Structure 1
Amino acid sequence: MKTMDAYKSNEGGKGLVGILLLLFAKQLQGQHPICDDYIRVSRNTVVQAFVMEKLTINCTVGFCTDLPQVSWFKLNKGIFNPVTKTPHIQAQWNYLTSNSGISFLHFTNPSLDDAGLYRCSVNADQSMIISYSITVIVNDCQAEFSVSDGCWWRAPISASVTVSCGVRFRFALIVSWCREDWDTCLPLKGPSRHTLTWNHTGPGTGVSYLTLHNITLSDSGYYRCFVCLPDYCDVDTRSSQPMGLHVTRSGEVMEHCGEDEHPVCDMLSVIVDITRIILFVVATLVVMTLTLCWVLKARGKWSPPVWNALELPEWSLSKTYHLTLRWVQRKTLMRFMMTVCDSV
C-alpha cells in the first residue's frame, strides 16, 4: 500500500508540472517574438557644409517586420515641422539588412536657410520614435562689393573727402579699408586722420564710408574696402575694386565715374600725343631729306658737305654711332640729315 501511495503521489507531481507547462505554452501562443523598433543617431551630431555644396545627414533605423514610415523634421520657432521635399532636398532609403537600413536627407544646393536642427522619426505600432537632433551648419564665405568701375575722386589739399563702398553679405562682418602699396594693400592707420561709417541699408546689405580729413598730396593713391572672413573659409579676406584719389593743390572735391578719365590717364594721354607729333615730324623730315638727296644724286648735283674732321678711335664703330657723334658735334638737325643723305 505504501508503495502504491508513493507512486500515486509522484504521478500527481508530474501532472502538476505538465499542467503548468501547458498553460505557459498557451500563453505564448499568439504573441510575436520579442522585438523593438529603434533609431540610432549619436548625441550632439554636427554637420557642416558651405553654401551651394552638397550636404547629407542620415539616421539608422531598425524594425521588426515591415518597414515603418521614416520622416524628417526641422526645428522652426520651437516647433519641429516636417521637411518638405523640393528639387534641392531629397530623402533616400538604403537597406542594411532585412530589418534595418539608413535614411538619408540630401541637400544638393544648401543655403543659409537650411541651417538648423533636424530629427528623423518612425511610426511603429501606433507610437512614434524620434531621434536625437542633428545640427546642420551652413557656412558662407561670399561677400559682394558694389563699387562703380572707373570711379575716382579729386580733392584739394587740406580738404576732406568721403569715398563709399556697398557691401552684400550673409554673415556677421566688419568692413575695413586699406591703401594699395605696390602688390599689397595696407590697412589704414592713424584714426585721427580718417573716419569709418557704416550704414545698414537692409537685410544683408550696407554701405561703408571712408572719410579722409585734412588730406595732403601723399594721400593720393588707390583705396579698397575689405572684410575679414571666418576661419572656416579658404581665404582670409575679400576686397573691393580699387578706388582712386587724386589730391590737387587747388580746386574742389569732385567725384568722377563712368567715362571720365583719371588725371593720371589725362597726363599720359598728353605725353603720348606729344610723342606721336614729334615722331611724325622727325619721320617727315627724314623722308623729305632722303627724297631730296636721291633727286640731287640722280641729277649729279649733289656734293657732300665738308665738315671739320672729327677724330675717332681706330677701332671699329658702327655707322649709326658715327652719325650720332657728328650730329652731337654740330648740334643741328639739318647737318645730321645731310650726313645721313651722304651715307645713302
Structure 2
Amino acid sequence: MNNDHNQPPAEAGKAHMPSVVTEGDPWGSVPTVAGIEPQNAGEAIPRKAPGRLREILRKAWGNPSGRVGFVLLGLLVLAAVFAPLIAPHDPVVQTLAATNEAPVWLGGESGYLLGADSLGRDVLSRVLHGLRLSLLVGIVAATVSALLGLTLGILAGWYEDTLGKVLMRLADIQFAVPFVAVGIALTAALGPGLGPVLVILSVWGWTTYARTIANSVAQVKRADFVTAARTLGAGTGRIMVKHVAPSVLAPVVVLWSTSAGVLILAESGLSLLGLGVQAPGFSLGSMLSDGQVALRLSWWAVLFPGTALLLIVLAFNMIGDALRDAFNPSSSLAPKNPELV
C-alpha cells in the first residue's frame, strides 16, 4: 500500500518537490535547485568596471597631447625635486671671474653648460633650483584658488538669487580691473615676497572657477537626485558636499590644470617688475628680471629660464586639453564600428 495516501496534502507535495538551497547567496536572491547547476555556474565572474578617475586618466594618457604633457611635466618635476643632486654648482655662489661667461659649447672656458649670468652664477644650476619655486607657486596658488572658487561657486549657484548675485558682481568687477594694477597695489600693502605673491595669486584666481561652477550648480540643484536627497531629509550642507560638489569636479580639474601654468606666468610677471620673490630666493621670473640688466652680454641668462617657463606652461596646457577631452562623453578613443558610421 502506498504511504503517500496517508500523508497530508502539504507534506505529500513537499516529498516530491526538489529541495532549494541558497549556498553562496546569503540573501537567498539566487536560489539553486539541489543537484542542478545554474547555467552560468562555469562562467567566470565578470571583472568590476574601472573607476571613474582611472578611466579619465586612461583616456587622458591615450591622447597624444596628454601623453606628451604628462611626460614633460614629470621630467620638469623630477628635475626640480632632485635639483640639489643634479645641479653642478651652487646657484647663489658668485664667481666674478666668470661674469657673463658663455656656455661651454659656445667657447666658454669655465665649463658652464648653459653659461653664467652677470654675477658669475651658473645658469643651469639656477634654472634647476628656480623650477622648484615656480612650480611650487603655480601648484599651491592654483589649488587654493580652485578650492576657494569651488566653495564660492557652489554657494553662488545654490543661492543664485541672493548670494549668487553679489558674488557674480564681485567677479565682474575683478575681471574689469587689470591684474598688474591689483598686484602692484596689494604688493605695496603687503610688501614683496613669496607669501604675498601666493596670497595675491590664490585670491585672484577664484573668479574663473566660481563663474563656471555657479552655472553648473544652478542646473544640478534642480536634478532628480537632489530632489530625492531632500525628500529623504538630507540637509543643505550634506547635499552640497555629497551630491553637488562631485557633479562639478570635471570643470574644476580642467581649469586647475590650465590655471597652474597661467599663475606661474603671473608670478614671473610680478618678479619681472621686482614685486615677486626677493633675494636671496629666486624663481624663473626673477631670473628673467636679473638677466635683462646685461641682456646683450649674456643673452643665455634670459633664454634658458624663459624656455623653462615655456615648457611648464606648455605641459600644463597640453594636460588640460587632454583632460577636457577625457571628461567629454562625446569624445572617445575607442575605435568606431564602421557599420554604424
Relative to its length, the structure with more helix (as a share) is 2
Higher relative contact order (CA closer than 8 Å, sequence separation 6+):
2
**Structure whose residues are more often strand by fraction:** 1
TM-score, normalised with respect to structure 1: 0.21
Give the structure with higher Rg (CA). Answer: 1
Give the alignment's TM-score, normalised by structure 2: 0.21
